[in-house]
Structure 1
Amino acid sequence: MALYVFLLSWKVNWLSFLTILMLVAGFIKYAERIWVMRLANCGPSTPSSRKPVAEPTIEEEALGLFKYFIDLFRNQKVIHARALSGHFDSTFHGWKVIEVELGYAYDAYYTKAPLFFTAWGFIFRFLSFTSIFSVSVLFHLKERQNHSVIDVIITYLLLAGAIFIEVYAAILLSASDWPWPEYEGLMELLQTKFAPIRKHCAKLITSNQRWSNSIGQLNLLSFALKDKSDQVGRGTPKLFANMRDWVFNQILSKLDRELEMLLYSNHKQVSPQLKDLVYNMFLEKLSSNTNKFSLEYGNYFPMGIGNVEIYERIMIWHIATDLCFYTDSGANDPINKLRREVSKDVSDYMMYIIVMYPFVLSTGNAIVSFENTCAKVEEKFQAKKLLTPRTANACAMLISEFENPPTKNLLLADSPLPLAFQVARTLNQMDEKWEILSKFWVENLAYVATLCQGNIHAQLLSKGGEFLTHVWFLLEHFDLTESFKKS
């Protein structure tokens, strides 16, 4: 189409000849795009390794491991020795290597880095930039006086924008961990001299973080009760608090359900304590060499309840965790306090995953179950004439359910609430409940991570990355995916 328009408007003048240069730049852009999409579709090539060094950096170490595991994102099995699990000398080191490897995966699937860091990539970038820059200079010298002021201004703006995009893209790509190719002689000297300038420019326009290091949070009870106190913070003046409540209860409640879910979710940083707990539990699983969960969590259900879907299990234990969390501060035991906070964080994260990304489970209808459960919660509190209680108060009220256990066998029916009460009732009678809950959430986090296929994890990278993907990739390095697939 561009060529067709160009031929129709051809005139033997400078403007037409300048258009040819712009067509060259545009052709290079789309040729690069098609090339890298083709590479990703066929299996992206891994970056070339540098010369071996005595003490490799984290980036160099991650590059060596990434070559083993890149095919996982295409749902292919990889052959790797369990000895790779001893490759990490600390929790921090292990998570950092995983982070860099996923950065390589993002570059391979969503950027032009595999082409940019090649001889052809440098040639294409040079031709594209010089074409646009030459058009800018020649237009200023030969053509600007032949057109109206408004047309000249628009043309300058477009050319300036094109040059800016070229420079910005080059700096952004050069800030990647993707290794630069090996050169010798003059090119090696130039690359060495250019490296500090490149890194300084990259720091000015990019973040030092490779991903957000955050997890989404969505609480079922807070959503059902329209309680935004956890999201907006405490200490709000009464006038603004009342206005906030009116907005969320009267306006946002009438919005589309998916948008409403988005508004009632938030994000928080992944704590080092959570990473330590996950990492150490994986090491324990590795040493135990067992293919099952550490506890039979189905025993916390009453007799007669068989297997439940994974999203139903998460909702049951999510509500039970809330009931325990808001009625027990963890006493004065620092370990229990830590487990309590971690359990709450992972519980809300798992609810966020099954509601926002239900496709990762590859089974069941999580959204329908979530909405049915929210409706049951709303009905329960409407019956009590309490339309918008705070989540903490609601959990305290629901504790009364513990005092009257049902005489009949509980059935899942269309709501996990009765089973959640049963689990919370059982846990509240146990001193080690926070140890049990923390194990449950870490093991089910791993279980869901293995349910999610590699190509889905690759798609999540384009959305900023999920902690779930980091957990999955760490499991693959430990060769533990089969251990968590048998629930």
Structure 2
Amino acid sequence: MNPIPTWVRRLWDVWDLRVLVLLSFTLQLILSIFGNRRKYISSLWINVLIWSAYLIADWVATVALGKLSDVQGDPEKSNVLWVIWAPLLLLHLGGPDSITAYSLEDNQLWLRHLLGLVVQLSVAIYVILMSWKNSRFSFLSLPALAVGIIKYGERTWVLKSVSDNNFKDTIPFGDVGDKYTTYRGHEYSCVLILAHCHLHEFMTYLGGEGYYRRVMHFRDVDIEKKIVWDAVEVSMGLLYDLLYTKASRIYSKGGFILRCISLGCTVTVLIGLIFRIVLLKTTREEEDQGNRHEIEMAITGVLILGALALEIYAAIVIFSSNWFMLWLIKQGRREWVIWLNRRFQWLFNEEKSWSKKMWQFDLLGYCLKVRDPIDVQKPSRKLIRSVLGRECEDKWNIYRHKTAYSVRPLVYDAMLDYYTKALWISGSGISHLAKINEMLEFRKIFEETIQPLQNLQVKIWNLHFTTQICNHFENEWGAGGDQDPSHNFDVDFDPTDFDFDPSSSHTIAQHKEVCKALSDYMMYLLVMHPLLLPNAGPSLNFERKLKNPEVIIGHPRNENMACHYLLKTGIDVSSRVVDVLKGMRKAKRWEILKLLWFALLKDAADSPVNGHFQQLRQGGEFFTFMLFFNFVSNISSFPLV
């Protein structure tokens, strides 16, 4: 007994090729529109959508081409219009400009794509030859075939370029201008020039041998903090374009010529189709085919019009991109950039480079929630536990506990202030962390229990719980005692270097928010992405603690009992550290914690870069941004104002 009814098999036999061709076009439409939006949308749905479309698109186009070649020997099924379908499917295999690779590893598969180009091109030529009717419409398959070869060849070339690790050669335009003479002027163009120069320096560092850090001194140049920050953001977006799109090929002289050829060929095919429909009479063979021919003519029109629409959309994206603005600057048309930005600000100054989100993971809240009897009995947890096992349940609990925090000006203003002081303290160039280590007696207490371990995981763990405890006992401690560690400093310092004044613009509430955001974010990285952190890979001891929260907080009924347990046992946080913080004034307490988190984040930003390249395709991490910013601060020793 055949489980598939006969009528279903007959219906699929008639419509299979049409469905496959239309599905292939739909997938190209999805990839064209959403392919590059994942660089600034950190969402599960966008990643699942693009991942599904990316994997299925090549498979559907390949199956459709194979189906076309299979039915050529059947005169009852073959159609003269199929001569144009084959090269259009080859165009689909080339993919849109907005995505060439879903992950960084896909670039290493360029040989597979090259082989696919040879095989699928052979199949397309076979279909064209077998469908050739010596008609005017058959000749239109030649320009369509040229478009398919261009698109597929471009994709293979881009994949090979990225896989060679010769990063510097993939950056279009070379040097766009002297960044140290163009700061005085239009902000948008300054951001673009600085971003391109920083990207060039970063790629040179990656492609060079050994450890590369070039320190440049330009004390006579003043750069606004916002320009520096925006330039780093734009650099992230430009790097994403080079790794995951056709940017390295599009924004070149050869790429522009190929774009003109492909657009011209597509228009030629469309005009030929319109000419055939409107002016030419159908042959007797086509009259006999009736509605079937009309349906396939409509599908052909959808494919050609769709291809032209995608070409126009791609052109709009190109001409409104930061890359095109850089090309204008390279050509000495900076005034055009300024005019376009002011006239069409909504189009040219709103291109997003990353999601500007910091995911949060409150470890103490997680431990309390995962042990909650009500939460344990939830249907979702019980279902996952019974079907997939305890390990999947733990992963699900961790995933649903994370929350999102938008990187507000409060955070990056504080970070810029920190880096400014890190570069220039008394004109000496001593790092801000080193200054803290010399000045604060608190540093000795904190490092006595953490620093000797040389483990970033333990540092994050301890500082996270210290922040949690200080936040919980805030009201109980009040304003703090009269103890002032600044009287114990062994070196001279200027108190204005640090903002301990409760009446200043950086209020206690702002300090607390920054500390809490960084604390939960670093814990999120430790739990969800440990490989992004240097010397903090997956730890069996840490994973065991996550699976058994009672090891961390005991058996409390609320947060207050958990914090008291941590202080009493001293397993996860040094009670001595908390005692010193407790005796400080409230403003100084949170200022010190904030500076310690900044220092920890800055030190961690020297981690390996491959993991960060992967994060660019998932909306970008704040830590990835800090990697760029840390690199920029090390190669650019100019004062920020």
Question: What range is the shorter-chain TM-score in?
Answer: 0.7 to 0.9
TM (normalized to structure 1)? 0.76
Aligned: 1:129 with 2:263: yes
SS of equivalent to 1:419 = coil
Q: 1:71 aligns with which of 204, 218, 221?
A: 204
Any conservation in 2 of the 1:73–1:458 contact (CA below 8 Å)?
A: no
1:347 Cα deviation after fit: 0.9
Residues paired across the two proteins, number: 445
Report the equivalent of 2:358.
Answer: 215
Deviations along 1:26-65, one digit per CA (max 9) or x if unpaired, are 2111222233334443222342455776636322343344
Matched, 1:312 2:430: no
Instruction: Name the structure 2 match of 1:351.
Output: 523
Secondary structure of 2:405's aligned partner: strand
2:535 counterpart residue number: 363
Partner of 1:139: 273
User: 1:1-20 maps to which residues of 2 (within 5 A)?
Assistant: 1-9=119-127, 10=129, 11-13=131-133, 14=135, 16-20=138-142
2: CA distance, partners of 1:166 / 1:73: 34
Is 1:265 paired with 2:410? no
Distance in 2, Cα, partners of 1:125 & 1:66: 26
Aligned pair partner of 2:565 in 375, 383, 401: 401
SS at match of 1:226: helix
Q: Is 1:203 paired with 2:347?
A: yes
Mapping of residues 56-135 of structure 1, within 5 Å: 57-58=189-190, 59-74=192-207, 77-78=211-212, 80-83=214-217, 87=221, 89-135=223-269
Between the aligned partners of 2:331 and 2:598, the Cα distance in structure 1 is 49
Contact 1:22 1:132 in 2 (8 A): yes
Q: 1:103 to 1:403 in 2, by over 3 A?
A: closer
Cα distance in 2 between the residues matched to 1:468 and 1:65: 17
1:172 equivalent to 2:317? Answer: yes
Per the alignment, in what secondary structure is the counterpart of residue 460 of structure 2? helix
Aligned to 1:440: 596
1:324 partner letter: C
1:389 corresponds in structure 2 to none
CA distance in structure 1 between the partners assigned to 2:446 and 2:517 by the alignment: 22
Contact 1:115 1:121 in 2 (8 A): yes
Q: CA deviation at 1:207?
A: 5.0
Post-superposition Cα deviations, 1:419-442, rounded to whole Å, max 9, x if no partner, equal: 366644553344333122111110
Provide, for residues 215-256 of structure 1, a one-character-per-residue CA deviation record: whole Å limited to 9, x for no partner. 121222233333799xxxxxxxxxxxx999946655577645
1:39 and 1:380, CA in 2 relative to 1: closer, same or farther beyond 3 A? closer
Cα distance in 2, alignment partners of residues 85 and 264 from structure 1: 47
Given candidates 182, 185, 190, the residue that maps to 1:55 is: 185
In the alignment, residue 132 of structure 1 is paired with which amino acid?
T
Q: Structure 1 vs Structure 2: percent identity of aligned residues?
A: 23
Contiguous gaps of at least 5 residues in structure 1 = 230-241, 387-392, 411-416, 482-487
Further displaced range: 331-340 or 313-322: 331-340
Higher deviation after alignment, 460-469 or 42-51 = 42-51
Instruction: Report the residue type matching 2:123 in the other structure.
Output: V
Task: Compute the displacement of 1:181 (Å).
Answer: 5.0
Partner Cα distance (1:192, 1:301) in 2: 55
- With over 3 angstroms needed to count, the CA separation of the structure-2 counterparts of 1:304 and 1:423, relative to structure 1, is closer
Question: d(CA) in 1 for partners of 2:532 and 2:173?
Answer: 29
Q: Which moved more, 1:303-312 or 1:160-169?
A: 303-312
| CA distance in 2: counterparts of 1:356 and 1:469, whole angstroms | 15
Moved more, 211-220 or 65-74: 65-74
Residues 93-102 or 248-257, more deviating:
248-257
Residue of structure 1 equivalent to 2:40? none
1:344 deviates by 0.6
Q: Aligned-pair RMSD on alpha carbons?
A: 4.1
The 5 Å alignment of 1:331-480 reads 333=502, 335-366=507-538, 368-378=540-550, 383-384=555-556, 386=557, 393-394=558-559, 396-401=560-565, 404=568, 417-419=571-573, 423-431=577-585, 432-450=588-606, 452-479=607-634
Q: Secondary structure at the match of 1:225?
A: helix
Report how far residue 314 of structure 1 moved: 0.8
Q: Secondary structure at the match of 2:549?
A: helix
**Pairwise CA distance, 1:349:** 1.1
Contact 2:232 2:628 in 1 (8 A): yes
Cα deviation for residue 351 of structure 1 reads 1.5
Distance 1:243 1:441, change over 3 A: closer
User: Looking at CA atoms only, which structure, 1 or 2, has the larger radius of gyration?
Assistant: 2
Relative distance call for 1:64 and 1:207 in structure 2 (3 A) is closer
Q: Which residue identity is paired with 1:47?
A: F
- The 8 Å contact of residues 74 and 454 in structure 1, kept in 2 or not, is answered as no
Are residues 1:28 and 2:150 paired? yes
Q: Which moved more, 1:275-284 or 1:10-19?
A: 10-19
Q: Give the conservation status (yes or no) of the 8 Å contact 1:84–1:477.
A: no
SS state at 2:404 partner: strand
Q: How far apart, in 2, do the equivalents of 1:297 and 1:335 lie?
A: 23
Matched with 1:45 is 171
Using a 3 Å threshold, how does the CA distance of structure 1 residues 276 and 170 change in structure 2: closer, same or farther? Answer: same
Q: Which amino acid aligns with 1:210?
A: S
Note closer, same or farther for the CA distance 1:207–1:55 as it changes in structure 2 (3 Å cut): closer
